[in-house]
Structure 1
């Protein structure tokens, strides 16, 4: 394969992966017009149209999809072999991509990794804030952060936080006008602030637990977010009851701005864990991050 074809295939894969000439050009460090010219040249040499372009989107054609399936795994194998040689160096290098909730990113990842990265200038950390569960292998993340009971058994997981208790809270201004709920069934009569983990998915059902009884309660309300921090703000503003980690609510409970309800039904989850596929264990950069985040009592 000529060097020209090799580079052009890399450019095509970047556009197909990003579904955008703008994002792919930024990733490759070239202009959008130069990238478009490269793709047209590759299509001309192959005699096939590889991408369908509209004013709003870019997607592979049938021929493009076939090329991706044949070529992408080989490029990934080359990248992994080159990365293996980089790991022989004394210092951790490269980019580690992590998917995490906003709560995990703000309370665990940023406080610890912001102190780590300046000590290792060749290490780059990319954190994608995603409220829903992500297939880290399919989405090409090096690691993910989720509650321990949300991680599949084929992943390697390391605890990075203590167990996390959830609470149901409301502002005094809201509770003054509504009767305190005495059981989970009473929540259906309240304005509740919802979370949607994915804009294509359903609204999260509140997980409640009392002794051996477990319930998932679907609540209704005027507000739904895909981030926990607006949920906190909406609760403080008196828009309804909210379900959140006690760590976020505690300062406001102590100050009297929020009040806990149904405390005997609020569960404790088995802490946040960083998880990754076993094949990534040899990465020096990832290992350093895992050890930095590891929870120590």
Structure 2
């Protein structure tokens, strides 16, 4: 079947002219309202009637009236056109000022450490914007999912996305609780992890993530084993604090429990550095004011 490579002329062509003529019962007054000539209005109505397949007006030298088809067309077209005008006005407002629903897809682990301070100050600064945070371990297609933007570790962001830094680079720390380390020897080398209970992360694709390290100028991935597999870092963090085993976690999550003594950092000479956490979106030409305001707020808070 041969494809049609042209866009069909819109079914709404001429509707505004029809509604104006129907309201004023005059081609001349409709032309004045729309800022065109009476002949242009007449031609537009003739084209509309040809497309509809029925006469919509009864014309005489003294008056203009609606046919039965015109009355039926008016009863359905007027409310529909008013809805379209209203929709255009709402869209125009959203395109001119920060307002509406801002949907963000984020990993669960960044909500308390990165997003909560940003969101609270942003909501105070922009009360007309509603922020919806959808926390998930999945790598979401933000366009298909109806999101304005996403938050992810830099290494997981596609190259065609525009990224805005939320955190500086940080290390992935292997940590253990004092209780756990009182029962086990501290690991000094990567190979020592074979003798330890290691808490692991299952990726969104179903695989269990190995633990990455740097050994000199080499990148090493250690396949570890242990009693717990989770789908998010906060669960692993809680289990590590309770002494279930060792965990490899992002530095922003481990900073507070290391500082207060609930966890101890291990194998630090071999820790890998992640590029950091970024806000990302699909492009500069698709940024509504609500997202632009959030991006500027992020930049201001990070300075």
Question: Is TM-score (shorter-chain normalized) higher than 0.5?
Answer: yes
Q: How many residues align?
A: 219
Give secondary structure in 1 for the equivalent of 2:206: coil
For residues 212 and 166 of structure 2, the distance between their equivalents in structure 1, rounded to whole angstroms, comes to 22
Give secondary structure in 1 for the equivalent of 2:281: strand
Give secondary structure in 1 for the equivalent of 2:109: helix
Aligned to 1:278: 283
Q: CA deviation at 1:204?
A: 1.9
**Equivalent of 1:209 in 208, 214, 223:** 214
Q: 1:258 to 1:81 in 2, by over 3 A?
A: same
TM-score (normalised: structure 2): 0.66
Aligned to 1:117: 123
Aligned to 1:290: 295
**Equivalent of 2:172 in 159, 166, 190:** 166
Q: CA deviation at 1:254?
A: 2.8
Contact 1:108–1:293, Cα closer than 8 Å, also in 2:
no
* 1:51-71 Cα shifts (integer Å, max 9, x gaps): xxxxxxxxxxxxxxxxxxxxx
Aligned to 2:94: 87
1:194 aligns with 2:200: yes
1:108 aligns with 2:114: yes
For residues 280 and 126 of structure 1, the distance between their equivalents in structure 2, rounded to whole angstroms, comes to 22
Aligned to 2:183: 177
Which runs of at least 4 in structure 1 moved beyond 4 Å after TM superposition?
80-84
Q: Which runs of 5+ in 2 are unaligned?
A: 1-86
Give secondary structure in 2 for the equivalent of 1:102: coil
Q: 1:167 to 1:100 in 2, by over 3 A?
A: same
Q: 1:119 to 1:218 in 2, by over 3 A?
A: same
Q: Which runs of 5+ in 1 are unaligned?
A: 1-79
Q: CA deviation at 1:265?
A: 0.9
Superposition pairs for residues 1-297 of structure 1, below 5 Å? 84-89=91-96, 91-198=97-204, 201-278=206-283, 281-294=286-299, 296-297=302-303
CA RMSD of aligned residues (A): 2.6
Contact 1:102–1:131, Cα closer than 8 Å, also in 2:
yes
For residues 138 and 215 of structure 2, the distance between their equivalents in structure 1, rounded to whole angstroms, comes to 26
Contact 1:142–1:280, Cα closer than 8 Å, also in 2:
no
